[in-house]
């Protein structure tokens, strides 16, 4: 199951699990409550929750025979950071390209050295 980030992305790749997260963002809920709207078995939902838990997106506390589930929203930031990093990079590259094109139209004496990325 590889790394943390992979687990988080994989966890949210399933529509049912995304819906669970959406509902848990409103309020904590028990497994039974969560399972009600779907027409799958409660065991299936329990498995989904285990996946979310494995990704750190959710925690379960113990309360009598009930097991209320709680959304750990901070983990979402991990993803946002990853995504934004590369979106920004791509954007900058776009800008650089624009600059380059502008320069080609209006050559100003020196040509600045272009570093091509060796992304390990």
Partner DNA sequence: CCCTTGATCAACCAGAAGGTTGACAACGAG
Partner DNA sequence: CTCGTTGTCAACCTTCTGGTTGATCAAGGG
Looking at beta carbons only, is 47 or 88 nearer to DNA?
A: 47
Looking at beta carbons only, is 33 or 53 nearer to a copy of itself?
A: 33
Q: Which of 16, 23, 72, 79 is close enough to bind DNA by CB under 7 A?
A: 16
Taking the C-alpha atoms of residue 71 and residue 57, their distance in angstroms, rounded to an integer, is 6
What is the rounded (10 degree) CA torsion for 61, 36, 26, 10? 80
Q: Which of 18, 25, 37, 50 is close enough to bind DNA by CB under 7 A?
A: 50
Taking the C-alpha atoms of residue 50 and residue 56, their distance in angstroms, rounded to an integer, is 10
By CB under 8 A, residue 106 contacts a copy of itself: no
By CB under 8 A, residue 26 contacts a copy of itself: yes
By CB under 8 A, residue 117 contacts a copy of itself: yes
User: Who contacts 54 (Cβ-Cβ below 8 Å, separation ≥6)?
Assistant: 1, 7, 11
């Amino acid at each position: 199951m590889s790394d943390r980030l992979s687990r988080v992305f994989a966890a949210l790749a399933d529509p049912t699990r995304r819906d669970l997260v959406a509902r848990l963002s409103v309020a904590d809920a028990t497994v039974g409550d969560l399972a009600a709207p779907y027409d799958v078995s409660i065991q299936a939902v329990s498995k989904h929750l285990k996946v979310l838990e494995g990704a750190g997106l959710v925690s379960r506390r113990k309360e009598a025979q009930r097991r209320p589930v709680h959304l750990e929203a901070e983990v979402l930031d991990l993803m946002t950071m990853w995504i934004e990093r590369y979106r920004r990079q791509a954007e900058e590259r776009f800008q650089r390209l624009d600059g380059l094109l502008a320069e080609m139209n209006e050559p100003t004496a020196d040509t600045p050295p272009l570093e091509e990325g060796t992304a390990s």
